[in-house]
Structure 1
């Protein structure tokens, strides 16, 4: 990982933090999806934040790990697990945990993701990640007081892609013009919507980067069920 460092003390403390941070994240089947340096006194972050890291599922292994946790089977298991696990990691490392749920107010995860240089606005307006494609999801973020290395910016995959996502929605509900949410729900109510419900959104699945990411259909089916309740 490569990133900007500011100050000798910050470099030293950040370097010392990384091994423990990496080990804790990987043990929970999470990964750093991107990050960026936070300027001194920049608004919208906990006081003293120097680095923000965005965390999400690391496959293979995340779904099996999550469904074996004590939160599973109760209400909002994914969010409750995220709050417990990422909150504990933050507490142990002297950081602050931030989440994309639990608002209002809502933290601007979409805008933060775009700052990483590894997540972009896709042709269908959904976020697309360098390694996870349109399957990207964020479970939380760590606001660190140390300056640490972040994953480097890379080229946007959409620049060399034929954009099959633009024509993948059988209901025409998710296109470059935006997202027709009522139209999507209406399609999912029909028998023809069963494929989307069982295996996940066809638009997300059409992305070539998504197809190389080892997300299980069971996970996509769960989230589709939560969306279409």
Structure 2
């Protein structure tokens, strides 16, 4: 079944990520049958293979459609879920599910100094778009696990690249970052993506092209 799900997702540039079985007594969302789910399998992307498919879909939608990438993801994952007898759960569905915790459990990922979860192969160029919930425990996707890439990184270039010093060991200065991205001096960040994120050497072959980064920067900064 997982092979069939993966094949369907690949048609839209998405991939199966990790998954987990819920422990007895653990709070868990309902599965497709209405009872607490037994397993969750995560869906996302590595690199920007999804971008062409998303853009083709976006061209057929109203120009003022809100949250188009989330809408597209729900549609794609929903079609797969229907075939697999699963229930779709999205990160922005309420009540919010602990996606971040699921991701860390399922793939063993840890945060980078930028606060983004870093993958040993994909670096910072990946995302989780939704999840498939199953009533029973199912076989889970195999995932790549290795040492935390940031622990082996010499010099932490990501912490030195931001033009306004928004990233530091103390955390993320959100207001300074957004102000810069929206401002007159923020064109590079707006059009080419976060300079600090691009400074990370891990997963360079999966780096999002500039138009993809610009799309996400626009959503992040709200302009």
TM-score (norm 2): 0.85
Determine whether 1:211 maps to 2:204.
yes
How far does the alpha carbon of each residue in 1:156-187 deviate from its partner, in whole angstroms, 9 at most, with x for none? 21121122212221111122211111111111
Contact 2:41–2:140, Cα closer than 8 Å, also in 1: no
Q: How far apart in 1 are the matches of 2:164 and 2:171?
A: 13
Determine whether 1:161 maps to 2:145.
no
Determine whether 1:140 maps to 2:140.
no
Q: How far apart in 2 are the matches of 1:42 and 1:131?
A: 31
Gaps of 5+ in 2: none
Contact 2:46–2:126, Cα closer than 8 Å, also in 1: no
Counterpart in the other structure of 1:32: 16
Q: What's the CA shift for 1:90?
A: 1.3
147, 171, 181: which is aligned to 2:174? 181
Contact 1:33–1:56, Cα closer than 8 Å, also in 2: yes
Distance 1:33 1:166, change over 3 A: farther
Q: How far apart in 2 are the matches of 1:196 and 1:38?
A: 40
CA RMSD of aligned residues (A): 2.0
Q: 3-state DSSP class of the match of 2:115?
A: coil
81, 87, 100: which is aligned to 1:110? 100
Q: How far apart in 2 are the matches of 1:138 and 1:164?
A: 25
Q: 3-state DSSP class of the match of 2:107?
A: coil
1:82-93 aligned at under 5 Å gives the runs 82-93=73-84
46, 51, 68: which is aligned to 1:63? 51
Q: 3-state DSSP class of the match of 2:127?
A: coil
Counterpart in the other structure of 1:6: none
Q: How far apart in 1 are the matches of 2:142 and 2:112?
A: 20
Contact 1:121–1:127, Cα closer than 8 Å, also in 2: yes
Contact 1:36–1:150, Cα closer than 8 Å, also in 2: no
Distance 1:210 1:174, change over 3 A: farther
Determine whether 1:192 maps to 2:193.
no
Aligned residues between the structures = 212
Q: How far apart in 2 are the matches of 1:54 and 1:27?
A: 17
Counterpart in the other structure of 2:67: 76
Q: 3-state DSSP class of the match of 1:34?
A: strand
Q: How far apart in 2 are the matches of 1:225 and 1:136?
A: 18
Gaps of 5+ in 1: 1-16
